[in-house]
Amino acid sequence: MTDNSTASETRPLSATLGALRAALGEDSVRVGEQIGERAMTDWTRHAPTRPAALLLPRSTEQVAQALAICHAAYQPVVPQGGMTGLAGGAIARSTDIALSLERLSGVEEVDAASATLTVRAGTTLQAAQEAAADAGFELALDLGARGSCQIGGNLATNAGGNRVIQSGTARDQVLGLEVVLANGDVLTSLGKMVKNNTGYDLKHWFIGSEGTLGVITRAVLRLHPQRAARHTALVALDGYDAAVNLLRRLSTRFGNDIGAFEIMWPDFYDLGVSWTATARSPFADSHPLYALIEHASFDAGDDGGRFTAALTDALEAGAIRDAVIAQSVADARALWAIRECTAEFPARLDPVNFDVSLPIGEIGAFVDHCRAALDQRWPGNASYFFGHIGDSNLHVTVDGHSIPGVDHHAVYAFVYEMLRPLHGSVSAEHGIGLLKREFLPISRSPAELAAMAAIKHALDPHGILNPGKLF
Amino acid sequence: MTDNSTASETRPLSATLGALRAALGEDSVRVGEQIGERAMTDWTRHAPTRPAALLLPRSTEQVAQALAICHAAYQPVVPQGGMTGLAGGAIARSTDIALSLERLSGVEEVDAASATLTVRAGTTLQAAQEAAADAGFELALDLGARGSCQIGGNLATNAGGNRVIQSGTARDQVLGLEVVLANGDVLTSLGKMVKNNTGYDLKHWFIGSEGTLGVITRAVLRLHPQRAARHTALVALDGYDAAVNLLRRLSTRFGNDIGAFEIMWPDFYDLGVSWTATARSPFADSHPLYALIEHASFDAGDDGGRFTAALTDALEAGAIRDAVIAQSVADARALWAIRECTAEFPARLDPVNFDVSLPIGEIGAFVDHCRAALDQRWPGNASYFFGHIGDSNLHVTVDGHSIPGVDHHAVYAFVYEMLRPLHGSVSAEHGIGLLKREFLPISRSPAELAAMAAIKHALDPHGILNPGKLF
C-alpha cells in the first residue's frame, strides 16, 4: 500500500473540510446544525453526539477521495449505515467525521445464472431482499431491523439474525466485496465465483471488522432458491439435553430444512405467553423447556406430513413431552408471538441484554449456573433465558427494574465474567463496538489481540478508521 | 505481536540447527540423507529438492519453539502436510527448512452436541472422515487425495473437492483454528461456536493463505448429518444455457440436496466413455453437452421418486434431451466412471491442466471462445472441457502429446490470458503456490496485491514463512 499522506500530524479541521468540499461538493459535507439526529446515535440509545462533520459521498470514488484526504490529515472517520447497531459501533465522537453510505444505494444487478445479487452498501436489507424475491430467489439474511439497516453495516458487523441455522451469518452470503482502505485505495473483489483460491481471500478481512479496516462500498451476495413450504411447531421438553438430542434427531432427518430451533426457558416462555392476546399457553401443563421449531422445505408439495411424523416419532420415543403443530399461518403466528415478545422488551422492561455464544453442549449448564449466580448476587432479579441453540447463541435479559439501584455495567461485568473459564464469546452476533470493548479480553487471548492490532496497523497505519471501536 | 528476534540478519545455519536440536530433540531435526523423498516434492512432480533440514515437531509448543528460533534467525520455513498439492505450495528450496506436521496427528474429540470434530493438523483427511462417520456424522470435505492429504494442508489451501456444491469449500467447514505465527506466538481460537463476533475472525486470515501467514496446528471442524439416500443420473442437454437452467430448476426443487452437477463437453465425454469397460455411451445419439447429477437426501425413505419425477418433468418441458437414471449402485458407478476418467489423465495424456473459475453464466461462452482460440493457435490440439458448474469451476485439460514441441508454459500463458478481461480466477481450488505466481496478477489488481503484501509483512515481518510462494 502506498502511504498517501503528506502531513506527519493532524491537520486543522478547516483545511480538511475545505479539501473534502472541493472533492465531494458542498452539499456532501455537512457541519453543525446541518447534521440531523440520525447521525448522532444508534439503537443502543447512547448519548447523542454531533460529529465534527457528516460526509454523504455518492460513489465509491468519492468514498476513496474522502478517505485519502482524511488519511493524509490523520482525521478519524466513522462509517455509518442504517444506525441500527446494538453495540455503538457507528457512533461518532464530536471530533470524528461521520461517513454515511446512504447515497450509495440500490441493487445493481441480479444474475440469475450465478444466483447472485450485486448491491451498493447503502441499500437497506429489505430493498435487497425484495430485489431477490422479485427475481424468484431468497436472500438468506434477515433481521428485525431489515427496513432500516443497510447491507454495508450488515457485512461490516457480520450480522446474524433469523436464518443462521439454515444459511449461516452475513459472512456466508458474500461472494465478492468492494472496500475502500483507509488511504483511499479501492479493493474491488466483486467476483461471483464460489471457488477462488488466488491469494488471500480479502473479503473475510473486512466482514465483521466493524469498520476498523476499510469501508465496504459494494457486495456480491449469494442468492438461494425460495423455500416453498413452512411448518411450525412448539415442543415441550424435559430439559436442555433433550433439546440438543431433538435438534440432532431433526437435523439427521431434515438437514438444514430445519429453519428455526428457538429455545425458551420457562421464565421467558411464561413472560412471552402472558403478553400474548390470549395470555394462555397452548399446553395445559408447565414444562422445563420449550422449543419453537420451523421446518422449511423446497418441496411445494410438502404438506408437513413428514415433519409431523418426525415429532410423533419423537413423542412415542419419549424424546419430547408434548407438541403443538400449527395448522394454519394464523396458528404459526400465534406460536411465534410468544418468542417475539422480545420486541416489547425495550418498552416493558429495563433490559440488560446479553448476546453470548458457547458450545451447544455447554449452554444448558451455563444457564443453570448463571441463574443461580444471579439469584445469589441479586435476590429477586427477573431474568429471562432464550436462544438460537442451533447457532450456539444464548440470549439473557436481566430486567433492571427488578434490581433497582444496580448499574447495568455491574450486571454486564458479572455475567460476562462467567464466560471466561468456558472460552465463551461475549458477542455472538451484535459485535463489540464501543460498548463491549472492555470485555473483549474475556473472549480473546493477548496473542489474538496483538495479531488484530498488527493487522489494524498494516491496513490503517494512521488509525483513522472508527477509532475507539473494538480496540 | 512481539518481535522475538535478536539478530538483525540471517544467522549461520549451523547455529539455527543447534538451537532447533536443543529445543525439539535430535530425532526431530533431520538433515541430508536422513530426509526422505517425501519432503522433496509434491503431486506436481516438480524437480525434487532436498531442504536444508526437515523438522518433525510433536506438539503445537514445539512448532512454536521452532518458528521462534527460525524467526530470530531470518531462516525460511516451508510448512509441509501430505505433499499432495497441485501448485507446488509445499516444495522447499535447498536453503529452506521444511516443517512437517505429520507427527501432530489424530482426532482429539468428536462433540456430538456441537456436531464438531477437533483434529490435529497432521491427520489425514480420511482419518478425520472416518472419525466423523464412526460418530454418525459426515465431514463434508472430500478429495481424491483423502488418504494422503492432511487437514492442515486442506485448510491452508482452502481445498475444494467433491462436496462444494452442497457444503462449500474447506473454509466453510472450519469453526475454530489454532495457528502458530512466524514469531512463535500461538493463536488458539478453537471455539466450537457458529456465531462469534468478537473482533476479527482470525481463522479466515490463515485459511487459504498457503502457509505464508502462519502454521495451522489444530482445527475445530463442523460436522453434518449423514445423507441417507443418493440417486445418480446422466442427462443429455442442448447446450450450456440448458445446463444452467437445469441447475436452477433442480436447485429450486431440491435446494442443496443436489450433491453433484458435473458438466462434460462432448470432447471430454467421448474420451471418458472410450476409456470405460464397455466403451459405450448409455445414449444412442451424441449430444451437445452432458451433466452427471447426484441427488443426496437426508430422508432414508427417499426412493428417488421425486428426483426421477423432476427429470421427467424437465424432459416433458423440453428442458433436457434425455436422461439415464441409475437403478443400482453399479449403475451409478458406471456413470461416474465416465467423469472419473481424469484419474487416468497423468498416465494416458501429457496433461496441461487448468482449474479456473468464472461467473456461472459466462462459462459456456468462455469454453467456446477458448476452444476456438486453441484451435487457431495450435490446430489439431486435443483439449477436454469439464467442470463443476454449480461451483463456478471449469477444468480444461490440453493434451501435450497433441501439440508436440509446445512448452506447457506457453499453453498456460495463452489460456490464462483469456481470463483477464472476464475477471476470472486462475485458480478455483488448487491455489497459486509456486507454479501460478506469475499469473496471479491476471486475477488480482495491484491494490489487492499491495494489501496482501501489507498483511504478509504485518504477520511475518522477517518473511520466513513459505517465501517464494503466492507472491
Per-residue pLDDT tens for B159-218? 998 889 999 999 999 999 999 999 999 999 999 999 999 999 999 999 999 999 999 999
Q: How many CB pairs under 8 A join A and B?
A: 285
Element (H, E) at B289: strand B289-297
Residue A379 has a pLDDT of 98
Residue in chain B lying closest to A360 (CA): B114
- Indicate the residue of A205, A444, A450 with minimum beta-carbon distance to B205: A205
The answer to whether residues A203 and B205 touch, using CB atoms and an 8 Å cutoff, is: no
Among B196, B426, B455, the residue to mutate for chain A (most A Cβ within 10 A): B196
- Residue spans of chain A under pLDDT 50: 1-8
Contact status of B45 with chain A (Cβ, < 8 Å): no
Question: Cβ separation of B200 and A445 shorter than 8 Å?
Answer: no
CA-closest candidate to residue B458, choices A454, A103, A434, A283: A454
- The Cβ-side half-sphere exposure at B407, using a 13 Å CA radius, reads 3
* pLDDT value, residue A376: 98
How far does the CA of residue B380 sit from the closest CA of chain A (Å)? 31
* Interatomic CA distance for residues A246 and A241, integer angstroms: 9
Mean pLDDT of all residues in B301-329: 96
CB proximity A437 to B under 8 Å: no
Per-residue confidence (pLDDT) for residue B300, from 0 to 100: 87
Residue B75's alpha-carbon distances to A429, B58, B93, B434, in angstroms, are 41, 20, 12, 19
Record: fold of B107-225:
3.30.465
At residue B10, the pLDDT reads: 66
Determine, for residues B197 and A450 on separate chains, whether the beta-carbon distance falls below 8 Å.
no
Per-residue confidence band for B7, with pLDDT thresholds at 50, 70 and 90: very low
Question: Is B202 in CB contact (< 8 Å) with chain A?
Answer: yes
| Nearest Cα to Cα of residue B209 among A456, A185, A204 | A204
What pLDDT, on a 0 to 100 scale, did the predictor assign at position B2?
Answer: 43
Check CB contact under 8 Å for A205 and B208.
no
Q: With an 8 Å Cβ cutoff, is A249 touching chain B?
A: no
Mean pLDDT of B27-48: 93
- Helix spans in A83-168 (H): 125-134, 151-156, 164-167
Cα–Cα distance measured from residue B189 to residue B182, given in angstroms and rounded to the nearest whole number: 17
Q: Does B244 touch chain A if contact means CB atoms closer than 8 Å?
A: yes
Question: Which residue from B minimizes the CA distance to A257?
Answer: B255
Using the Cβ of B390 and the Cβ atoms of chain A, whether some distance falls under 8 Å is answered with: yes
Residue of A nearest to B225 (CA): A252
Q: B114 at the A interface (CB within 8 A)?
A: yes
For B158, the closest chain A residue by CA position comes to A197
Pick from A193, A303, A38: which is nearest to B361 by CA?
A: A193
- Separation in Å, CA B27 to CA A215, B57, B293: 50, 10, 50
| CA–CA distances in Å: residue A57 to residues A54, A102, A197, A218, A298 | 10, 8, 33, 14, 41
Closest chain B residue to A2 measured between Cα atoms? B450
Write out the three cell numbers for B179: 495457528
- Residue B6 is predicted with a pLDDT of 44
Residues of A in contact with B193 (CB under 8 A): 357-359, 392-393, 424-425, 428
CATH of domain A349-428: 3.30.70.2740
Cβ atoms of B199 and B425 closer than 8 Å: no
pLDDT on residue A2: 43
Cβ of A428 within 8 Å of Cβ of B195? The answer is yes
Of A169, A188, A224, Cβ closest to residue B195: A169
Residues of chain B contacting A246 with CB distance shorter than 8 Å:
none
What CATH fold (topology level) applies to the domain B229-342? Alpha-Beta Plaits (3.30.70)
pLDDT band at residue B5 under the 50/70/90 scheme: very low
Enumerate residues 272 to 311 of chain A having a beta carbon within 8 A of any beta carbon in chain B. 298-299, 306
- Say how far apart CA B37 and CA B33 lie, in whole Å: 9
Which pLDDT belongs to residue A46? 83
How many percent of chain B have pLDDT more than 70? 98
Q: How confident is the model at residue B11 (pLDDT cuts 50, 70, 90)?
A: confident
- Alpha carbon distance A243, A449 (integer Å): 35
**Residue B178 and residue B189 in contact, taking contact as beta carbons nearer than 8 Å:** yes
Which cell numbers in the block locate residue B146?
Answer: 483423502
**B107-225 against B229-342: fold identical:** no
Mutating which of B63, B177, B198 best tests the A interface, going by the most A Cβ atoms within 10 A?
B198
Rounded to the nearest angstrom, the gap between the alpha carbon of residue B374 and the centroid of all alpha carbons in its chain is: 26
The CATH number of A13-103+454-459 is 3.30.43.10
Nearest residue to A207 (alpha-carbon basis) of A245, A251, A154: A154
Q: How confident is the model at residue B112 (pLDDT cuts 50, 70, 90)?
A: very high
Query: Kind and range of the H or E element at B79?
Result: strand B77-80
C-alpha cell at B361: 453464466
Q: Which residues on chain B are in Cβ contact (under 8 Å) with A445?
A: 187-188
What residue spans define the domains of chain B? Answer: 107-225, 229-342, 349-429
Query: pLDDT digits over B91-101, tens only?
Result: 999 999 999 99
Q: B349-429, what's its fold?
A: Alpha-Beta Plaits (3.30.70)
d(CA B224, CA B129): 11
Q: How far is A160 from chain B (nearest CA, A)?
A: 8
Average pLDDT over residues B372-378: 98
pLDDT for the residue B3: 46
Query: Looking at the partner chain, which of A209, A298, A428 has a beta carbon nearest the beta carbon of B253?
Result: A298
